[in-house]
Amino acid sequence: MRDDRGHDLDPQIGKVDDGEIEIEFVDVDDGSPVAEEPAPSTDLAAVAGEAAADDQVEKLQAELDHVRDVYLRKLAEFDNFRKRVEREREESRRLGAEDFIRDLLPVIDNFDRALQHTNDESGAFRQGVEMIAKQLGDTLARRGVVEINPIGQIFDPERHEAVQRVEDPSRPPGTVSIVMAKGYLAGERLLRPALVGVTVAVQGEGDAAGGDS
């Protein structure tokens, strides 16, 4: 017989008292090792703790990714905003300069007319006007203004404005024969078209050619 610890019990018969037999069990230790009951396992608690830690790490990583994404979007939006402001500022500056140049064009026209009609025999007045006109032209050129003087060129409706028809047998029809006012470009932008007279066929030439045939 074994006790609750797995030890053998040796029954011994005691004295007889009033007809009863007293039996005493003595623990017999035979020196063999006794198997101990395993302690309650803590593996489930450890696994649960690791799972909770992993969930927390994933949550923090997701929040970090979200913050990084928001930061990158805001950075891109700010960069686009900065570039747009710079473009608008440059456009405003350019348009302001163009308006100022347009206001100067009549002054240049008057210089050209003065040079065409001067009768100064000494040439001093003409020379002075030419110097002022050249200085003004050089200033505009440094600002990117290009003069359009299409005399002898084929009429270009994109850059020329025809205000007169000219019968000029020395030039083919459709050729600019007279420039009343020069045109101007600011870079590739047209500030003002050149005001020109365009050559047309001389009346009677077509009839003469038909009669000869």
Provide the pLDDT for residue 213: 42
149 found inside a domain? yes
In degrees rounded to 5, what are phi and psi of residue 136?
-65, -40
Residue at 173 is within a domain = yes
pLDDT at 19: 53
In a domain, 111, yes or no: no
- pLDDT for res 208: 47
CATH number, residue 195: 2.30.22.10
Where are the alpha helices (H) located in 29-183, listed in sequence order?
Answer: 43-117, 124-142
Instruction: Assess if residue 168 is contained within a domain.
Output: yes
What local confidence, expressed as pLDDT, does residue 16 receive? 47
Angle between helices 43-117 and 124-142 (to 10 degrees): 170
Domain count, the chain: 1
Whether residue 185 is contained in a domain is answered as yes
154 part of a folded domain = yes
Give pLDDT tens digits along the chain (213 positions): 555 555 555 555 444 455 555 555 555 555 555 555 555 555 677 767 777 787 888 888 888 888 988 888 888 888 888 888 888 777 777 777 777 788 788 888 877 777 776 666 667 777 877 888 888 888 888 888 899 999 999 999 999 999 999 988 889 999 999 999 999 998 888 989 999 999 998 776 554 444 444
Longest dimension (CA), the chain: 176
What's the pTM? 0.48
pLDDT of residue 28: 52
What tokens appear for 141 in the block? 């050129």
Amino acid 158 reads E
Pairwise CA distance, residues 40 & 97, whole Å: 89
Residue 192 lies in a domain: yes
d(CA 122, CA 119): 9
Range of the domain at 183: 145-203
For residue 186, is it within any domain? Answer: yes
Look up residue 188 and give its amino acid. Answer: E
